[in-house]
Amino acid sequence: MKFLKYLLIFIPISIVAEFMKINPILIFIFSSLSIIPLAGFMGEATEEISIYSGPRIGGFLNATFGNATELIISFFALKQGLFDVVKASIAGSVIGNILLVLGASMFFGGIKYKIQKFNKSIVEVSSSMLLFAVIGLSIPAIFTHTVNKDLLTGRYEWLSVWISLAMFIIYLLGLYFSFYTHKDLYGSEHAEETEAKWGVSKSIIILVLATLAIALESEYLVSSVEPMTESLGLSEIFVGIIIIPIIGNAAEHSTAVLMALKNKMDVAVEIAVGSSLQIILFVAPLLVFISLLFKPMSIVFSEFELVALIVSVLIVNRVASDGESNWLEGIQLIAVYIIIAISFFI
Amino acid sequence: MKFLKYLLIFIPISIVAEFMKINPILIFIFSSLSIIPLAGFMGEATEEISIYSGPRIGGFLNATFGNATELIISFFALKQGLFDVVKASIAGSVIGNILLVLGASMFFGGIKYKIQKFNKSIVEVSSSMLLFAVIGLSIPAIFTHTVNKDLLTGRYEWLSVWISLAMFIIYLLGLYFSFYTHKDLYGSEHAEETEAKWGVSKSIIILVLATLAIALESEYLVSSVEPMTESLGLSEIFVGIIIIPIIGNAAEHSTAVLMALKNKMDVAVEIAVGSSLQIILFVAPLLVFISLLFKPMSIVFSEFELVALIVSVLIVNRVASDGESNWLEGIQLIAVYIIIAISFFI
Amino acid sequence: MKFLKYLLIFIPISIVAEFMKINPILIFIFSSLSIIPLAGFMGEATEEISIYSGPRIGGFLNATFGNATELIISFFALKQGLFDVVKASIAGSVIGNILLVLGASMFFGGIKYKIQKFNKSIVEVSSSMLLFAVIGLSIPAIFTHTVNKDLLTGRYEWLSVWISLAMFIIYLLGLYFSFYTHKDLYGSEHAEETEAKWGVSKSIIILVLATLAIALESEYLVSSVEPMTESLGLSEIFVGIIIIPIIGNAAEHSTAVLMALKNKMDVAVEIAVGSSLQIILFVAPLLVFISLLFKPMSIVFSEFELVALIVSVLIVNRVASDGESNWLEGIQLIAVYIIIAISFFI
């Protein structure tokens, strides 16, 4: 994690680059590299604040700000009307968390420890919630893909708003479940990991500064997507589904792998699955609501994205039902991710 | 359950209404309301007869008459050639049993008891049977949806008859399994629930009268579907998949929720899953056979219905593999049901 | 198993028949009947050699030659450009192993023993590997079926080669997993089954002779497929997906059922699942590589085949999560197989 902070040098570099209107590919790379350490700082600051605020508010803060980076990037993409990029990055975050992060955790952890066990009951709650969330997301998509499109104009958006509302309510109920009615199911495994480093007031300042810097860099990043994809011949979907999620989640990814190497697979699995849940049930609905301010975005995913989502969720449910992991499982998850990435690339 | 009997007043009301040829929407509502208590009486009478006839014949009676209401309604819909309504109501009964009934049971039960456990091994037999049944049903549908329709005329119906026959044989073998070769797997949980109330001869009279009254009301109901959907602008599929199953299963629904409130989740789950199994393996094939007398109905479902069926079965398999339930799981099931209903509505 | 050797008489019969250019249907039947005992001899010889070579090389030999018959038949089909037959026979072998072989084992074993238990942890490794393999195979297929075909010409084949490479690497890693890093998971259940019969040098001679004879008969078989399907009005897909896999796997099928009758369900399940894994991860990629010598074959399956594959894998995962089997489960598997066969036939 430590060496990531040197990437902060790309903040001034990207600002200068944007000012000089140089090649959009370079702007995309510079702003991406600067977002990675900023997302890390934001995560650490949130966790530190949550130590002082007590477990309940702290859990809520973590659950809300955990995917703030994706939210900010998506916000600017939304403002520019890049709906396909926004939806691809939602799907890509879920796929990346489950296949790449979980796969890498299981692989590296599995090389060090022969078999890694984790608490089935917590993972089962999350993974079954993920199953419901993806099913909820798939149903309207399957309906709209098979029905004549002309019949649906106008109704489309309302369906999206209603489903987003349902997702959001389920999200709030899920928080209520894990922080009130069934909080004893969950240990205090997250809390142990962090020690106070900055103190509360400094943490808040870091949080605010990191958020502002991410917002700036996200604007650069998003505005360079279109010219970059054009000049490289890449599809915007590929950028959305593979590249943006890797940037937004880099800090979390490294944490999950570190936890796996410490044989704390519970935490690694929770990061991957919990973060996916947050994206589907909190970030996606929020983006639909925000889009109403500009131009309504539907929550209907493309068939590609749906298949990838369903596959990821089936896998995580398979994994959860088992309660054990080994390096071979890890490599299989990574292989599926690579196959998906190659397919989208082509 | 008690207040349901006051709904019997809608029998004379619906007869008068039909006679006066009033608005079909009112006829639909009146006949629906009168079927709900009649289905309840038929269920109670069947259960009481089964006390006297011993567990083996009793179990068979329950398994056969359990969905008699759906069978009668579907019979009249079949006679009128409303194939889409019939198939939608088959799919809708399965979805309703699994998502709505099971969801409501888990939700209300889960509010009262923190975690409810149920016997995994029985539910696993039923849920894996359900998986096979839905797979059996999906395969020909997927084949026929992807193959050029012109090539299939004529062969369609034969495929349906063969598959129905296979389903029916599996149903009989399933009864043989649970009442002969592996009957020790199943406790006597159903038997305990009923106490004698009417005596055997009165029960038979009630059964016959309820069946006749349901037949009459079903004819009213079905004949009002077409004019009603036209005047309201609803699709017949929506009526078939959402409204008719709720009417036909209302009595069972309340029983399942009552059992969950008594912390007898085994019984609640068995009602929901067992009833779904009966509909796919017994009611659906029987309707295909009966349709040969009028005009052959294929067993091929629409893509919408299939997706909804597969989703329901995946969920029940997920639930069964766990052996536990809580209120959050219940609310998720209900949410998926509502999303499906909204999608069909639109 | 013993009576199978009398089928060797069909080797000379098929040679004479080919020479006299008689009806292709008879040539198809004669060469099929002669391959069945030859495949059996090849399997026995391989197993006997593996006793002398020690468990590690022995396991590798078994894993590599286990599906040699399918590989040889497919090689000649590939040379003739019958890509649809090759792909159908790959899918058909997997389906046949899981639904028919496993189903028959569970059914016959379940009639003799009420409930048969098997070691969950081994089956879980194989079945989760199978899940990943089929997902890996499905993703590019689903992508190519939904994307405009014109955009893909040329890229198609490269995608197939990359995916085949990924499959093949996973296969090798799987062998490394089961023979090195996690070999203690696996008992020595296979080793016990065989006793030395021929001695090592005689075994090698039998292996070479059987391979040569299978090669000859496969050439007859494959060259009779086209004229036969034309004169009978059968589709080549049906021959590939149902008939060829039954011929190629007959010897293994009978072994699996025999093991189930001895209450060794572990071995029966391992034969069915392990053989399926080998076909997807070893035989299929190898055939794609070989096809580059003639005319590149894509690894993209038809929608029919994919659905059948996915269904089979879902079922085996369901079965594995349970760790028990009974006759009803067996009959359900067989019923799904029959429904698939009827659908392909029509």
Strand (E) or helix (H) holding A342: helix A327-345
Token pair recorded at residue B283:
């009611």
Q: Average pLDDT, whole number, for chain B?
A: 81
C-alpha–C-alpha distance, residues B105 and B258, integer Å: 8
Inter-chain touch A163–B342, beta carbons under 8 Å: yes
C-alpha–C-alpha distance, residues A316 and C336, integer Å: 26
Q: Which pLDDT score, from 0 to 100, does residue C187 have? A: 56
Q: Which pLDDT score, from 0 to 100, does residue C108 have? A: 92
Calculate the dihedral angle through the C-alpha atoms of A87, A93, A95, A96, rounding to the nearest 10 degrees.
140
Inter-chain touch C140–A315, beta carbons under 8 Å: no
Inter-chain touch B142–C340, beta carbons under 8 Å: no
**Closest among C130, C324, A131, C318 to B128, alpha carbons compared:** C318
Alpha helices in chain C (DSSP H): 10-19, 24-52, 54-65, 68-79, 83-95, 102-112, 120-146, 155-176, 189-193, 200-232, 236-238, 244-261, 265-278, 284-291, 303-320, 327-345
Which residues in chain B have Cβ-Cβ distances shorter than 8 Å to A177? 326-328
Mutate to test the interface with A, among B116, B328, B333, B336 (most CBs of A within 10 A): B328
Q: Which pLDDT score, from 0 to 100, does residue C83 have? A: 86
Q: Average pLDDT, whole number, for chain A?
A: 81
Token pair recorded at residue C162:
């990359």
Range 196-215 of A in CB contact (< 8 A) with B: none
Asked if the C-beta of A163 comes within 8 angstroms of chain B's C-beta atoms, the answer is yes
Q: Which pLDDT score, from 0 to 100, does residue B107 have? A: 92
- DSSP class of A296: P
pLDDT band at A145 (very low <50, low <70, confident <90, very high): low
pLDDT at residue B325 tops 80: yes
Beta bridge pairs of residue B325: B116
Residue type, B334: I
Distance from CA of C62 to the nearest CA of A (A): 21
pLDDT at residue B126 tops 70: yes
pLDDT at residue B56 tops 70: no
C-alpha–C-alpha distance, residues C272 and A104, integer Å: 30
Specify the 3-state DSSP secondary structure of A50: helix
Token pair recorded at residue A323:
């309660």
Q: Which pLDDT score, from 0 to 100, does residue A67 have? A: 80
Which residues in chain C have Cβ-Cβ distances shorter than 8 Å to B285? none
Taken in order B85, B86, B90, B93, the sign of the CA dihedral is: positive
Q: Tell me the CATH class for C2-188+197-345.
A: mainly alpha
Mutate to test the interface with B, among A125, A127, A128, A280 (most CBs of B within 10 A): A128
pLDDT at residue B196 tops 80: no
pLDDT at residue C191 tops 50: no
Q: Which pLDDT score, from 0 to 100, does residue B98 have? A: 86
Phi then psi for B18, rounded to 5 degrees?
-65, -40
**pLDDT (tens digit, 9 = 90+) per residue, B262-283?**
888 888 888 888 888 888 888 8
Asked if the C-beta of A140 comes within 8 angstroms of chain B's C-beta atoms, the answer is yes
Least confident stretch, A124-128, B58-62, B188-192, C43-47: B188-192
Which residues in chain B have Cβ-Cβ distances shorter than 8 Å to C304? 142-143, 146
Calculate the dihedral angle through the C-alpha atoms of C328, C334, C335, C338, rounding to the nearest 10 degrees.
-170
The subunits that touch chain C, with at least 3 C-beta pairs less than 8 Å apart, are: A, B
pLDDT band at A315 (very low <50, low <70, confident <90, very high): confident
pLDDT at residue C131 tops 50: yes
Least confident stretch, A39-48, B13-22, C58-67, C159-168: C58-67
Asked if the C-beta of A106 comes within 8 angstroms of chain C's C-beta atoms, the answer is no
C-alpha–C-alpha distance, residues C242 and B277, integer Å: 29
C-alpha–C-alpha distance, residues B64 and B278, integer Å: 8
Q: What is the largest CA-CA distance in chain B?
A: 58
Range 142-161 of C in CB contact (< 8 A) with A: 142-143, 146, 152, 155, 158-159
**Closest among A175, C344, C259, A68 to B144, alpha carbons compared:** C344
- b/e for C179-211, b at 16 or more Cβ within 10 A? bebbeebbeeebeeeeeeeeeeeebeebbeebb
Specify the 3-state DSSP secondary structure of A304: helix
Comparing alpha-carbon positions, the chain A residue that sits nearest to B112 is: A181
Residue identified by tokens 């299978």 is C214
Token pair recorded at residue B38:
């009649």
Which residues in chain A have Cβ-Cβ distances shorter than 8 Å to B344? 143
Least confident stretch, A66-75, A306-315, C191-200, C291-300: C191-200
Inter-chain touch B328–A166, beta carbons under 8 Å: no
Asked if the C-beta of A331 comes within 8 angstroms of chain C's C-beta atoms, the answer is yes
Distance from CA of C49 to the nearest CA of A (A): 29
Inter-chain touch A346–C128, beta carbons under 8 Å: no
Which residues in chain C have Cβ-Cβ distances shorter than 8 Å to B152? 346
Asked if the C-beta of B135 comes within 8 angstroms of chain C's C-beta atoms, the answer is yes
Asked if the C-beta of B308 comes within 8 angstroms of chain A's C-beta atoms, the answer is yes
C-alpha–C-alpha distance, residues B44 and B62, integer Å: 10
Which residues in chain A have Cβ-Cβ distances shorter than 8 Å to C139? 307-308, 311, 336, 339-340, 343
C-alpha–C-alpha distance, residues B283 and B299, integer Å: 12
Which of residues C191 and B48 earns the better pLDDT score?
A: B48
Distance from CA of B145 to the nearest CA of C (A): 10
Span A209-224, average pLDDT:
86
What ipTM was estimated for this complex?
Answer: 0.79
Q: Which pLDDT score, from 0 to 100, does residue A191 have? A: 46
Range 227-256 of C in CB contact (< 8 A) with B: none
Q: Which pLDDT score, from 0 to 100, does residue C160 have? A: 81
Q: Which pLDDT score, from 0 to 100, does residue C68 have? A: 83
**Closest among C340, C342, C338, C333 to C99, alpha carbons compared:** C333
Q: Which pLDDT score, from 0 to 100, does residue B37 have? A: 85
Which residues in chain B have Cβ-Cβ distances shorter than 8 Å to C142? none
Span A38-62, average pLDDT:
75
Q: Which pLDDT score, from 0 to 100, does residue A54 have? A: 67
Contact B42, B208 (CB under 8 A): no
Contact C143, A343 (CB under 8 A): yes
Inter-chain touch B343–A159, beta carbons under 8 Å: yes
Span A334-345, average pLDDT:
84
pLDDT band at B191 (very low <50, low <70, confident <90, very high): very low
Span A58-79, average pLDDT:
79
Q: Which pLDDT score, from 0 to 100, does residue A59 have? A: 65
Token pair recorded at residue A247:
């940037």
Span B144-158, average pLDDT:
61
Quick one: angle between helices B120-146 and B155-176, nearest 10? Answer: 170
C-alpha–C-alpha distance, residues A208 and B214, integer Å: 67
**Closest among B95, B29, B1, B63 to B312, alpha carbons compared:** B95
Q: Which pLDDT score, from 0 to 100, does residue A28 have? A: 86
- Closest residue to B339, CB basis, from A129, A139, A152: A139
Inter-chain touch A304–C177, beta carbons under 8 Å: no
Mutate to test the interface with B, among C328, C329, C338, C344 (most CBs of B within 10 A): C328
**pLDDT (tens digit, 9 = 90+) per residue, C278-314?**
888 888 899 989 888 888 887 778 877 888 888 888 8
CA C8 → CA C19, C88, C246, distances in Å? 18, 27, 17
Inter-chain touch A140–B343, beta carbons under 8 Å: yes
**pLDDT (tens digit, 9 = 90+) per residue, B284-322?**
899 988 888 888 887 778 877 888 888 888 877 777 677
Q: What secondary structure does DSSP assign to C181-222, as a single string?
A: ITGGGS-SHHHHH----S-HHHHHHHHHHHHHHHHHHHHHHH
Token pair recorded at residue B46:
């069947």
pLDDT band at C107 (very low <50, low <70, confident <90, very high): very high
C-alpha–C-alpha distance, residues B261 and B264, integer Å: 7
Contact A194, A55 (CB under 8 A): no
Which residues in chain B have Cβ-Cβ distances shorter than 8 Å to A313? none
Q: What secondary structure does DSSP assign to A124-170, as a single string?
A: HHHHHHHHHHHHHHHHHHHHHHHS-GGGTTTHHHHHHHHHHHHHHHH
Q: How far apart are the first and last CA of chain B?
A: 33
Q: Kindly give, in sequence order, each residue whose CB lies less than 8 Å from that of residue C147, ignoring residues fewer than 6 positions away.
A: none
Token pair recorded at residue C160:
């197939």
Q: Which pLDDT score, from 0 to 100, does residue B249 have? A: 78
- Closest residue to B328, CB basis, from A131, A163, A174: A174
Q: Which pLDDT score, from 0 to 100, does residue C84 have? A: 85
pLDDT at residue C30 tops 70: yes
Contact C39, C213 (CB under 8 A): no
pLDDT at residue A189 tops 50: no
- Closest residue to B321, CB basis, from A132, A146, A321: A321
Q: Kindly give, in sequence order, each residue whose CB lies less than 8 Å from that of residue C98, ignoring residues fewer than 6 positions away.
A: C272, C273, C276, C312, C313, C315, C316, C333
Q: Which pLDDT score, from 0 to 100, does residue C54 have? A: 67
Which of residues A263 and C141 earns the better pLDDT score?
A: A263
pLDDT at residue A53 tops 60: yes
Specify the 3-state DSSP secondary structure of C289: helix
Hey, how many other C-beta atoms are within 10 angstroms of the C-beta on C131? 22
Specify the 3-state DSSP secondary structure of C325: strand
Contact A90, A279 (CB under 8 A): yes
Mutate to test the interface with B, among C318, C324, C345 (most CBs of B within 10 A): C318
C-alpha–C-alpha distance, residues C202 and C49, integer Å: 10
Which residues in chain B have Cβ-Cβ distances shorter than 8 Å to A125? 328
Inter-chain touch B304–A181, beta carbons under 8 Å: no
Beta bridge pairs of residue C117: C324
Span C87-95, average pLDDT:
89
Q: Kindly give, in sequence order, each residue whose CB lies less than 8 Å from that of residue B237, ignoring residues fewer than 6 positions away.
A: B84, B85, B88, B302, B304, B344
Residue identified by tokens 């391989």 is C46
High-pLDDT (> 90) share of chain C, %: 1
Which residues in chain A have Cβ-Cβ distances shorter than 8 Å to C152? 346
- Closest residue to A342, CB basis, from C125, C146, C162: C162
**pLDDT (tens digit, 9 = 90+) per residue, C195-206?**
667 777 888 888
Q: Tell me the CATH class for A2-345.
A: mainly alpha
- SS3 string, chain B, reads CHHHHHHHHHHHHHHHHHHCCCCHHHHHHHHHHHHHHHHHHHHHHHHHHHHHCHHHHHHHHHHHHCCHHHHHHHHHHHHCCCHHHHHHHHHHHHHHHHHHHHHHHHHHHHHHCCCEECCHHHHHHHHHHHHHHHHHHHHHHHHHHHCCHHHHCCHHHHHHHHHHHHHHHHHHHHHHHHHHHCHHHCCCHHHHHCCCCCCHHHHHHHHHHHHHHHHHHHHHHHHHHHHHHHHHCCCHHHHHHHHHHHHHHHHHHHHHHHHHHCCCHHHHHHHHHHHHHHHHHHHHHHHHHHHCCCCCCCCCCCHHHHHHHHHHHHHHHHHHCCCEECHHHHHHHHHHHHHHHHHHHC
Least confident stretch, A218-227, B232-241, C145-154, C208-217: C145-154
